[in-house]
Structure 1
C-alpha cells in the first residue's frame, strides 16, 4: 500500500494508525495539530513490518511518529518533526 500526498489537520488521538500492516510506503504526508493538543500522535505504528515513511512534515501535540510493540523493519527518513516529542 502507498500513502502519498495526504494531509491531516487537527485530528484527535492518531492522525494515521498502522496496525498489523505490511509493506506500507508513506511519502509527502502533511500532518498538523496545535502544539498544546494532548495525545495527538502524527503516525502510530504497531504490530507492523516493512514500513517506510519519507519525506514528510509532521507537527503534533505529542509524538510525531510512535512505534509500538511488534513492529519490525521500520524505515524513517527526511521527516520534519515539530512541534512534537519526536520519533
Structure 2
C-alpha cells in the first residue's frame, strides 16, 4: 500500500478524543472488613425484649457506607430503644 503525504491512520484514541470520550479507571476491589467468628464471644443479653422500661437502658446502633462521586461516606445511627 502506498501512503500519501497525509497521515490517514485513525486510532481508537483519536476517535475518542473527537467525541469527547475519556476512559474511566476503576480502582481494584479492596477488602475492608475481616469476618471473624463471633459466635463464641457474643451473648444475647436482650433475649428479644426490645421495649426497655427506662431510658438509657438499651441502645442500638448500625453503620453503613454510601458511595458518592468523591468516594464512600459512612453513616452511623445510634438510638435509645426506650424512645
Of Structure 1 and Structure 2, the greater helix share is in 2
One fold, TM greater than 0.5?
Answer: no
| Structure of greater relative contact order (alpha carbons < 8 Å, 6+ residues apart) | 1
TM-score under structure 2 normalisation?
A: 0.16
TM-score under structure 1 normalisation?
A: 0.15
